[in-house]
Copies of this chain bind each other. A is one copy, B any other.
Amino acid sequence: MNQDAEVIAIGTELLIGGRSDSNSIFLADELGKLGIAVRFKSVVGDEKQDIVTAIHTAAKRATVIIMTGGLGPTVDDCTREAVAAATGHRLGRRKEALEGMTARLAQWGRTANVAQLRQALIPSGATVLNNPVGSAPGFCLTWKKAVIVSLPGVPREMEAMMLQEVLPLLRATVASSGLPPRSPIVRQLFHTFGLAEADVDAKLRGLVPKGAPVDLGLLVSPLAVLVSLTTKGSQPARGKHRDLLPKLAEGVRSRLSEWIFAEGRDQMEEVVGRELAKRGLTIALAESCTGGLIGHRLTQVAGSSAYLDRGVVCYSNRAKTELLGVPADLIAQKGAVSKEVAAAMACGIRERAKVSVGLSVTGIAGPGGGTETKPVGLVYIGLDGGTGQPITKEFRFHGDRTVIKQRSSQAALDLLRRWLLDRERT
């Protein structure tokens, strides 16, 4: 029996897109632990007939179907009706669904209104899945050879129900099937910065032996080239492929060495935050073209107040002089976007804030403001660690304003990371 999964996300607003889909990564990871691969994902609007079509299509190519969304109280929400129609079941109000929902609403001091009562309608023969976080119950039924699971689309509710209800159920189904347990699908991620995709690709060429049950993947974003190693769940690694993943992971690490700034779900701001905290160092920022983005990113990490003292966004030249003591003469002579001004900004913020390290960015984010000698995308990063010798680095980024800001912030944090690690070595 093939044990592949299909995810069906329901909601007209999802067809239009424009939002990050955090449900997919969670579902792929959790199902992967059971050795179940997500091979298809369908997105369909709030139209009953379209949802029926999606269910019938999925049942032909997957044995685990996870549906998210369309379980709310409004008339738009028609997943219940669609599953009943697609599988030939009747909808009926189910006692345990109603009780769970009523209990949940009571905790909030509310009672179910007429619209919410629709949420207790469940296809006959389905198992009710309790929602410990929100009001809408889910359900699960077997049709033909597929297990169909219907969950709310709200990530917090979906995740809690997967962990508490669905995964134990799927585990039990696999166990009672008499089939040998499948090896889990394991994915290892490596985040690199500073190399082009083609260079990462070239460095990794030949790493994964032909026919090995591990996929090597590359994914490019403004902040990183991501390298993934993914085992194939259907083939338990045996013989020469035993311990293949740890060996390949070591290979990725040694080939990409210092270009790797993080592994797994780690972010650059968490990595540098940890390194700063570990060494008891404090930092202050002087941002021009990034406009506050580096401060925003560092403060995304809980506990960042332990090392981040302050930042200044010195968009005007006057602000650079008043807040950082960058000489107006220097700006006039070298230009606000220059390695000399980047160095002066880093020194200025470090001295004024009395911190261990000052980090600065000045550049041209565009689309206007570029010249022949100083084009859009020209960015200087400065770092002063109080040695009397500030470091500066020049970058020439491509892309729109958003991309140039993002890459500038990442380059600054990466320079800080490398400085922190070098400091340890010497």
A residues contacting B by CB (< 8 A) are: 12-25, 28, 38-45, 47, 50, 53-54, 57, 61, 74, 76, 187, 201, 215, 217-219, 221, 226, 228, 285, 287, 289-296, 298-300, 302-305, 308-316, 318-319, 322-323, 352-353, 365-368, 401-402, 405
Contact = CB atoms under 8 A, between A and B. Distances in A.
Nearest to A365: B299
Nearest to A26: B17
29 contacts: A13-B217, A13-B219, A13-B228, A15-B24, A15-B41, A16-B25, A18-B20, A18-B21, A19-B20, A41-B42, A42-B42, A57-B57, A74-B201, A76-B217, A285-B292, A291-B298, A292-B292, A295-B295, A295-B296, A295-B313, A296-B296, A299-B313, A299-B365, A299-B405, A305-B315, A309-B315, A310-B312, A310-B315, A312-B323
B299 A315 contact: yes
Nearest to A219: B13
A47, A54, A295 pick with most chain B CB within 10 angstroms: A295
B323 A315 contact: no
Contacts of A299: 289-292, 313, 315, 365, 405
A93 to B, nearest CB: 22
Contacts of A287: 292, 295
Given A292-B292, A367-B302, A316 B323 contact: no
Contacts of A44: 39-41
A288 to B, nearest CB: 9
Nearest to A309: B316
A285 B312 contact: no
A311 B285 CA distance: 11
B315 A313 contact: no
A303 B15 contact: no
A318 B309 contact: yes
Q: Copies of this chain, how many?
A: 2
Given A14-B41, A40-B44, 9 more contacts: A21-B21, A39-B44, A291-B311, A292-B293, A296-B296, A296-B405, A299-B315, A311-B312, A311-B313
Contacts of A315: 299, 304-305, 308-311
Contact of A28 (B17, B53, B285): B17
B402 A300 contact: yes
Contact of A61 (B53, B187, B311, B312): B53
B12 A17 contact: no
Given A296-B293, A309-B316, A313-B295, A24 B20 contact: no
A15 B304 CA distance: 33
Contact of A17 (B21, B309, B405): B21
A367 B44 CA distance: 35
B39 A47 contact: yes
Contacts of A38: 15-16
Nearest to A41: B43
